[in-house]
Amino acid sequence: VVQITSEDTRAVQLLGANQGTTVSPPTVADVEDHELREAVPVISPQGMAYHPGLRQLLICSQVADELLYLNAQGGIIKRLSLSTKPGTYSPVDVLVTPDGNSWVLGIIADQVRIYTSQGELLNQIHTAHRPTKLLWHPVNAHVLSYASLEESLLILDLTGQEQTSLALPSALLDATIDGTGRLIVDLVGIESLLVYDTTYQPLQSLGYPDGVLRWHPTAGQLWLGSRSRAELYRLDATQQPLPVIS
């Protein structure tokens, strides 16, 4: 039972052992003090990306096999269906490249699809098994697709043609690419971050705590949010090699 005493919209979140359980939506008879309006659900949202040309937010709806287009107010203005039978494509990540095309990664279909800004299919590329992440390489103009079963990165050009692949020594937790083209990866079971150069050769090993990695292009900084500590690191990444956390 959820009692709302405010007119503001509130999100209901289950905690502890109740996480992952299903919450039944209220019916009209359950609501006594205001009008109940049915909203169009976003089913299992996963990866998202901002499309600067459309000025819209793109979100993968994994279970429904759709790519959702949202306006600045958060309203769904378009639904791009990715399969005739929901659950057979299972999109988990989306990437907008500088040419305005949208790359959508399907974890069940083992496939990447390239769409124009109008939603027209340009190409579809078969990846290795269980792809989970897309990365844009601004220096090489490559798209990197991570396959979780093979623990490898597939390197593609803007047309979807395979250029090379990079086998990782462990499963990928997170990755980012800095302004000089260095690929920085956080891997399962390895207590350091690995750095690769623009030719995807090993360059450096960093004794950083594992965490979420983000590159700030304007400030030239690498941000690292630690998973094991309540700490956020901001590193001046203009140095070669990257600095060491003391």
Structure tokens at 202: 């090993």
3-state secondary structure 206-231: ECCCCEEEEEECCCCEEEEEECCCCC
- pLDDT tens, N- to C-terminus, the chain (246 residues): 556 666 676 666 666 656 666 666 555 555 555 544 445 555 678 899 999 999 999 999 998 899 999 998 888 999 999 998 888 899 999 999 999 999 999 999 999 999 999 999 999 999 989 999 999 999 999 999 999 999 999 999 999 999 999 999 999 999 999 888 999 999 988 878 899 999 999 998 888 777 888 888 888 888 888 877 788 888 777 666 676 664
Q: How far are the Cα atoms of 157, 186, 190, 217 from residue 168, in angstroms, in the given order?
A: 20, 10, 11, 25
Residue 17 phi/psi, 5° resolution?
-70, -15
- Sign, Cα dihedral of 36, 38, 43, 46: negative
Query: Which residue, 102, 98, 110, 13, is CA-closest to 59?
Result: 102
Measured in residues, the chain has a length of 246
